[in-house]
Structure 1
């Protein structure tokens, strides 16, 4: 029966269950439209795909739960029709950026420079966190923009326009680049406070620059390890300064007496 339905093909699961696949060829591009339980559903998807590619009045916003095609496939086809390039991920290219549409409610924005990466990496969502599978591991996409896993929005970084789904580089402002460092605004200006967690949070000191605070954090780790406290501390890596400059700052930095007092306990 399905042989009489254009764009419909039979397939079987490992357990032998029969299902139906729909596909379409447009501008010499063969596109899979998904799998369906009946040949009539697969054919409906085929017809919907043809209609979407031919009708410029149908937009991303015209998707609804009553459509046969999935939302992801709807996005892929609309982008192919409008921008003449097909992506297997739900990307729609705008003038100077692109959108990655996980759902009608979750529309992420990225710079064009990231197009190659996200066209080959599927974004997954867990609550308000977004991940990609990279080298066999799930990686939080925030890391790609310098936002550490432990970072707190408003303290360590912010989205300039207030939209935390807008990952364009100009929209992400990093306050704290280093582990254990917190930026604080005072009446006298910006200060950088280094803190470390031992059995509770301890303040290492307050410093003029984030680099000094990051090195102070490393110095506190060294002192603790020398005293036999081998917790899983994460030292900061500072690539912008030479070893000699690092050593000079390291030597001069003051560490809070509370740290040394803890070591004597």
Structure 2
């Protein structure tokens, strides 16, 4: 066999060729190929990429390349930074780049390296996902942004770059279900609404926590009345059970909404 090539057999008995290279005592799989010569070419190219940092950079990825792009990034990162990562990550000083493809790069804090070094980010219909226990999870949810979150209303990227997911660059505006921050004559207030065949205003509150608790109280009233709808619940980590219960009892609900709840006749 040619250098860097190993013969393998699929479950159906068909032969294929696996390519790999060893660099600095690290054995790296390069991929599987239909022909021996293709696997050998992958081995040769990987050797050139790894040997000299002046040969190739990530942006030099050829239009027709025997190595897939993710592997290209992994090899160059290993060459330059001495750490092999299976996902397409390139390390910087206090952050790292994650390459969705050659033209799309995301920025993350170095604290997130362990998480993303073990997960593939997918892009579909303009949305970013990762696989979690067999499910596709919206990338934004990792940063406290709800699935329905609207940029500019519920969250914003401080520097205007929506590919920069470093923690200092993500500002949560509306963190809770049913709560919207509003500016009334220069004063910040929090509007709570619940959706039942249209939106009903629950109230306007001086703090975000009050507004979030009001949403929980309003949806509980609806459920207790017999409305079989699975409303999401706001969890407020800053409050212990006693403080939460006290605020829950005291928070005021719109009289109009209370009248609507009383009028419901659900069998």
- Deviation, 1:205, is 0.9
Looking at structure 1, the residues matched to 243 and 51 of structure 2 have their Cα atoms a distance apart, in angstroms, of 64
Normalising by the residue count of structure 1, what TM-score does the alignment of the two structures yield? 0.94
Deviates more, 1:140-149 or 1:47-56: 140-149
5 Å-filtered alignment, 1:164-203, equals 164-203=162-201
Deviations 1:71-121 (A, max 9, x none): 101000000000011011111001110011120122111101111111122
Looking at structure 2, the residues matched to 95 and 68 of structure 1 have their Cα atoms a distance apart, in angstroms, of 30
- Deviation, 1:193, is 0.6
Looking at structure 1, the residues matched to 112 and 22 of structure 2 have their Cα atoms a distance apart, in angstroms, of 28
Deviates more, 1:253-262 or 1:112-121: 253-262
Deviations 1:176-218 (A, max 9, x none): 1111111112223111111111111111111111101001101
In the alignment, what sits opposite 2:219?
221
In the alignment, what sits opposite 1:104?
102
1:67 counterpart (62, 65, 68): 65
- Deviation, 1:137, is 2.5
5 Å-filtered alignment, 1:88-103, equals 88-103=86-101
Secondary structure, aligned partner of 1:102: strand
In the alignment, what sits opposite 1:53?
50
In the alignment, what sits opposite 2:208?
210
Secondary structure, aligned partner of 2:153: coil
In the alignment, what sits opposite 1:84?
82
Looking at structure 2, the residues matched to 34 and 50 of structure 1 have their Cα atoms a distance apart, in angstroms, of 14
2:3 counterpart (3, 6, 14): 6
Normalising by the residue count of structure 2, what TM-score does the alignment of the two structures yield? 0.93
Structure 1 residue ranges without an equivalent (≥5): none
Structure 1 residue ranges (4+ consecutive) displaced by more than 3 angstroms after TM superposition: none
Secondary structure, aligned partner of 2:164: coil
Looking at structure 1, the residues matched to 16 and 256 of structure 2 have their Cα atoms a distance apart, in angstroms, of 68
- Deviation, 1:149, is 1.4
Query: Within the alignment, does 1:155 sit opposite 2:161 as a pair?
Result: no
Secondary structure, aligned partner of 2:101: coil
2:36 counterpart (34, 39, 44): 39
Q: CA RMSD in A?
A: 1.4
In the alignment, what sits opposite 1:259?
257
2:20 counterpart (18, 23, 26): 23
Secondary structure, aligned partner of 1:77: helix
Deviations 1:14-49 (A, max 9, x none): 222222111100011000111112111111111110
- Deviation, 1:131, is 1.9
Looking at structure 1, the residues matched to 84 and 176 of structure 2 have their Cα atoms a distance apart, in angstroms, of 39
